[in-house]
Amino acid sequence: MDNVLVAYFSRAGENYGHGGIIHLEKGNTEILAEAIADDLDAQLFKIEAVNPYPKDYYATTDQAKVELREDARPEISGPLPDMSGIDTIVLGYPNWWGLAPMPVKTFLDSIDTTGIKICPFCTNEGSGLGGSVRDLSRTYPAAKVMAGLSVRGTDAARSCKKAQDWARKSVR
């Protein structure tokens, strides 16, 4: 779809799943974002921090907590996607401390969200969407933030069809 962008932040490597630390070759959110973009024939944009998060899972969560407390906007890699003609963003992220990771906000701050429909989905290990949808609505009032989709990260690879069905309904 020419008017849809699938933008996502994801983390491979050490992650939490199945009650402990696991290693992911590809991040859970990335798996779903790729499936959604493929199904919608939409442009795909990976949000990446210029300074990568630590390889250690717990060091990453500590850094994420500091960024959240400081309302930080970590620099992201460019170039940004061409937003001309985009009216819907399917936005994927892991739930970090109940919200979208701060690089997601850096991305949204970098574009004009006026009139944009944001369809958020997140991966997590039981915390659901947390307060992320409410926070996105409050932080980006010029956008229309839709109801989100929560997918357990360890179920991501088995949840692609569910995510694709949700995305098709959400972008209408």
What's the pLDDT tens digit per position in 78-90?
A: 899 999 999 999 9
- Please list the residues that pair with 8 across neighbouring strands: 46, 92
Which tokens sit at 128?
């659901």
Which tokens sit at 114?
């006026």
Is 11 within 8 Å of 60 (Cβ atoms)? yes
> Rounded to whole angstroms, how far apart are CA atoms 55 and 33?
22
Question: What percent of the chain is predicted at pLDDT more than 70?
Answer: 99
> Rounded to whole angstroms, how far apart are CA atoms 53 and 115?
32
User: Which pLDDT band, with edges at 50, 70 and 90, does 172 fall under?
Assistant: confident
The pLDDT, as a whole number, for residue 38 is 98
Of 73, 72, 81, residue with least CA distance to 8:
81
Over range 30-50, report the average pLDDT.
Answer: 97
The pLDDT, as a whole number, for residue 2 is 64
**What's the chain's average pLDDT?**
96
> Rounded to whole angstroms, how far apart are CA atoms 13 and 56?
8
> Rounded to whole angstroms, how far apart are CA atoms 78 and 63?
22
User: Which pLDDT band, with edges at 50, 70 and 90, does 48 fall under?
Assistant: very high
Query: What confidence tens digit (pLDDT) does each residue in 102-150 have?
Result: 999 999 999 999 999 999 999 999 899 999 999 999 999 999 999 999 9
Which tokens sit at 155?
């179920």
User: Which pLDDT band, with edges at 50, 70 and 90, does 59 fall under?
Assistant: very high
Would you kindly state where each structural domain of the chain is located, as residue ranges?
A: 4-171
> Rounded to whole angstroms, how far apart are CA atoms 83 and 102?
20
Over range 97-103, report the average pLDDT.
Answer: 96
> Rounded to whole angstroms, how far apart are CA atoms 117 and 89?
6
Is 87 within 8 Å of 5 (Cβ atoms)? no
* Options 3.40.50.360, 3.30.565.60, 3.20.20.80, 3.30.70.3000; CATH of 4-171: 3.40.50.360
Strands (E), 37-108: 43-46, 88-94
> Rounded to whole angstroms, how far apart are CA atoms 120 and 146?
7
